[in-house]
Amino acid sequence: MNNNIDKNTIRVFNKNTQADKRTIAVRNASFRNDLQEISMDWEYFRQLDHNFSNIVSGEMPTTNQKSSGRCWGFAGLNLFRIYLGRKYNLKDFQFSQSFFMFWDKLEKSNYFLESIINTADKHWNSRLVMYLLNAPIQDGGQWDMWVNLVNKYGVVPQSEMPESFSSSRSMRMNRMITRKLRENAIILRGLKNKDASFDDINNEKNQMLEQIYKMLVIHLGNPPNSFDWQTRDKKKNFLRFENLDPNSFYNEHIGLKLDDYVCLINCPMSDKEYNKVYTVNYLGNVIEGNSIRYLNVESEDMKRATINSLKDDQPVWFGCDVSKHFHRDLGVMDIDLFDYDSFYDLKFGMDKASRLEYGDSQMTHAMLFTGVDLDTKDNPRKWRVENSWGNKGGDKGYHIMTDKWFDEYNYEVVVHKDHIPQKLLDLYLKEEPIHLDPWDPMGALAK
């Protein structure tokens, strides 16, 4: 059996390709142009617009996470500021994104070191240990990780802890902290395998965490313990609130009960069932906080819960694979916008489950639903999305997601418990979660 590519076969490939005038024409078009631009169905694009039947009140100018992977926290803060803006009639406001980043990285460092201690009996080259070492303080995160940070540390206005170079461009900071944490892992594994006492290991770990804290202060600044907040509303009325701390600022001025929110996913992989609860091993930040918890449901259930929320004037945090069928400048997520089949004269046929199982898709980005366009039968046509990539794309940073795209590439929504059927809420609250491997696609948003 000949399993190599021989040169006679290559000559046949070349002859057939050179004789195909269509392939040559497409090659000439693509050689100096971007694939998205020359594969776009402009006739289809003209049918899309930024008008929606339902939009939540209190939208503000979009934020910009720049060269960092903090989308999940930006989406969470963008959700909070809608409620804060309504309460005080604000035109614009931003929470400190550096503040949540600081505490997330410190908590992730502790979570990583504890995971290293707990897996010290495994070979350093095991898949699990290598996974833990790969990206211990990555920028990404999940909804439950966000809840943990807010419940423990609260939030502050951006003026109290503004963006730094490293918060907006986190690669080098992450690289240096990761290098130190890997060095720490060697020491802790050695102590554990030499049967050192719990106190000795914990004392060593605390010294390590103090070093990480110092590195975070160098890159992000000192997180405030107390502050005053003052602003003006849309009518230019002056507002001042004194003697606040991060937790009182959240509880008294935002006050959402985050434990009342439910995380739904749509994951049709063959190893997962609908109406089952899942968690992801070794995915978290705050050791004593909530673990990751998802209820896997049909896409229609996820959409209906989102519609119910938006109709109730509540924005919805969600996680998706933003890189697929998305035109960043136009701000459009649409399966039909790019005709790759015609461009290549090939058929791309994977369904949602296959894309997840064979590495073609996973959760990569979190954003906020702020609107939906419903037809006369209350079915969604398209969705309004608040992104955190600045105001250049789409409608000043607000994007369009078609309903087809929602079905294929949206994986997660977080809604208030009042907006899902009682039977689903009972499952979410009462079922024991099924544990997924750390590298499962449903944990990818945190990476």
Region for residue 236 given its phi and psi (left: phi exceeds 0; alpha: psi -120 to 50; beta: otherwise):
left
**SS3 call for 279:** strand
Q: Rounded CA gap, 398 and 62, in Å?
A: 7
CA-based end-to-end distance of the chain: 42
CB neighbours of 175 closer than 8 A, spacing ≥ 6?
none
How far does Cα 204 stand from its chain's mean position? 33
Q: Give the pair of three-digit tokens for residue 277.
A: 């609860």
Give ∠ CA 254-156-245 in degrees, rounded to 5: 85
**SS3 call for 367:** strand
Neighbours of 383 (CB within 10 A): 27
The alpha carbon dihedral of 367, 388, 238, 247 has a sign of: positive
Decide if 394 contacts 400 (C-beta within 8 A). Answer: yes
Give ∠ CA 305-308-309 in degrees, rounded to 5: 90
Pairing of strands 227-232, 365-374: unpaired
Residue 362 to residues 44, 352, 354, 355, 357, Cα–Cα distance (Å): 26, 10, 11, 8, 9
The candidate with the shortest Cα–Cα distance to 265, out of 290, 292, 238, 284, is: 292
The candidate with the shortest Cα–Cα distance to 330, out of 62, 40, 30, 52, is: 40
Q: Rounded CA gap, 396 and 409, in Å?
A: 23
Q: Give the pair of three-digit tokens for residue 64.
A: 């910009």
Decide if 226 contacts 245 (C-beta within 8 A). Answer: yes
Neighbours of 237 (CB within 10 A): 10
- Phi then psi for residue 91, to 5 deg, are -80, -35
* DSSP string for residues in 47-107: T--S--SEE-TT-----B--BS--HHHHHHHHHHHHHHHHHHT-S---B-HHHHHHHHHHH
Catalytic residues: 71, 365, 387
Give ∠ CA 157-161-163 in degrees, rounded to 5: 105
